[in-house]
Amino acid sequence: MEQANRIAVIGGGSWATALVKILCNNHDQVFWWMRSQTSIDHIEAFQHNPKYLQSVQFDTNQIVLSSDLAAILTQAEVIVIATPAAF
């Protein structure tokens, strides 16, 4: 089975953080949309999510982070939505 080259994860919580880490272990680049620009800046500076799974370290050279949803979606072949659902 051929591996998808461009995967985007939508969300900034613990589930999204875990998925991005797993995807980074298996792909050269992962696109990650987060609502919070402050969280994006923190990940780029310190290589971990400031609010969720703080012990998980990222190689920020593998991740394209953005708070611009359209910019992330236009790059993706596969989109993983990892946001909370309200019941």
Output the six-digit token pair for 56. 């998980």
Q: Confidence class of residue 85 from pLDDT cuts 50, 70 and 90?
A: confident
**How far apart are the C-alpha atoms of 63 and 44, rounded to whole Å?**
9
Q: Which pLDDT does position 1 carry in this prediction?
A: 45
Reported pTM: 0.89
Helix (H) or strand (E) segment spanning residue 19:
helix 14-26
Nearest to 63 by CA among 13, 35, 25: 25
How much is the pLDDT for 3? 57
Token look-up 């236009």 returns: 74
pLDDT tens for residues 15-65?
Answer: 999 999 999 999 999 999 999 999 999 999 999 999 999 999 999 999 999
Residue showing tokens 């969720």: 52
Task: Please name the helix (run of DSSP H) or strand (run of DSSP E) that holds residue 44, with its range, or none.
Answer: helix 37-46
